[in-house]
Amino acid sequence: MKPQTDRTGNKMGMWLFLYTEIILFGGLFVLYAVYFDRYTEDFIAGAKELDRVFGVVNTIILLVSSFFVAASITAVRKAHDRIALAGLWGALACGAVFLVNKYIEWGHKIEHGIYPGSEKLLDSAGGQNLFFGLYYVITGLHGIHIIIGMTLLGVSLVLVHRQKITAQKDALLENCGLYWHLVDLVWIFIFPLFYLVV
């Protein structure tokens, strides 16, 4: 018996994995939905305290990074390795800028005494505590996913450089790309839920 070689299975496996990621965040969005329903006023007040400029900039950065990743996949398929490498570097740079922005944004909030278990949140209304609690948990988990995604893109970059990912063998790059798009997509939901509910 010869093993079957149906390469489409790689992509199928990746999509199945992405479902699990969606549901992982889904659990948190359920919490958000319930608490938003219960403390609508507090959530709106909380959203006003978040800096919308950071949110908008980060959204644009991630959208651009997704373009870079998509471009690099197309480039690999057309055997334009240098463009592919440039695309991956671009995406990695976007990811890094996103994380720096996040760091500055979190830093500001922590400076103002808003962090899990802080005096200010302990004294505030329950809804405020939950809004910022969820803000830290969800954006934190998303940040971890950005780091994982950057690691995957970094690995792809090395493999493209070493000619291990080629036009004929692009499954890994495509799967890493799918992961990155998912991380981007999750942010597209996080952004309005935390910055635009006013």
Partner 1 sequence: MESVKSFYETPSPAGFTGIWSWLITFDHKRIALMYLYAILFWFILAVLLGGVIRLELMFEGKTFLRPELYNSAFTLHGVIMIFLFIIPALPAVFGNFFLPIQIGTDDVYFPKLNLLSWYLYMAGGVVAVVSLFSDGFPDTGWTFYVPFSISTNTNVSTAVFAAFILGFSSMLTGLNFITTIHKMRAKTMGWLQLPLFTWSLYATAWVQLLATPVVTITLVLVMIERYFNVGLFDPSRGGDPILYQHLFWMYSHPAVYIMILPGMGVISEIIPVFARKSIFGYKAIVASSLAIAIAGSLVWAHHMYTSGMSDTAVFVFSLLTFVVAIPSAIKVFSWVATLYKGAIEMTPPLFLSLCFIYLFSVGGLTGLVLGAPGPNIHVHDTHFVVAHFHCTMFGGTGFAFFAALHYWWPKMFGRMYDFKKAYIAAVLVTGGFMFHYVPMFILGLQGMPRRYFDYLPQYAPGNFFAGFGALFMIAGIGLMMVNLFASLARQRTVPPDPWGGVTLEWTVPSPPPLHNFEKDPDIPDYPYDFSKIVAAGSGSRPKGA
Closest approach, Cβ 33 to partner 1, in A, equals 11
- Chain centroid to Cα 5, Å, comes to 32
158 near partner 1, judged by CB under 8 A: no
Q: Which of 111, 121, 131, 108 is nearest to 51 (CA)?
A: 108
Q: How far is the CB of 56 from partner 1 (least distance, A)?
A: 26
- How distant is the alpha carbon of residue 186 from its chain centre? 6
Nearer to partner 1, 35 or 194 (CB): 35
Task: Pick the binder of partner 1 from 133, 159, 171, 178 (CB under 8 A).
Answer: 133
Chosen residue from 67, 89, 136, 191 binding partner 1 by CB under 8 A:
136
* Contact flag: residue 129 with partner 1 (CB under 8 A): yes
In 50-166, which ranges are continuous DSSP H helix?
52-77, 81-111, 119-123, 126-161
Q: Whole-angstrom Cα distance, residue 13 to residue 26?
A: 20
- Minimum distance from CB of 122 to partner 1 (Å)? 7
10: how many CB neighbours lie within 10 A of its CB? 13
180 DSSP 8-state letter: H
Q: What angle do CA 153, 159, 164 make, to 5 degrees?
A: 140
Q: How far is the CB of 5 from partner 1 (least distance, A)?
A: 10
CB of 36 to partner 1, least distance (A): 12
- Is the Cβ of residue 140 or residue 192 nearer to partner 1 in the bound state? 140
The verdict on 117 binding partner 1 (CB under 8 A) reads: yes
Site string for partner 1, 5-44 (x = CB under 8 A): -x-xx--xx--xx-xxx-xxxxxx-xx--xx--xx-----
Position 127 contacts partner 1 (CB under 8 A): yes
Both tokens of 129, joined, read: 């505590």
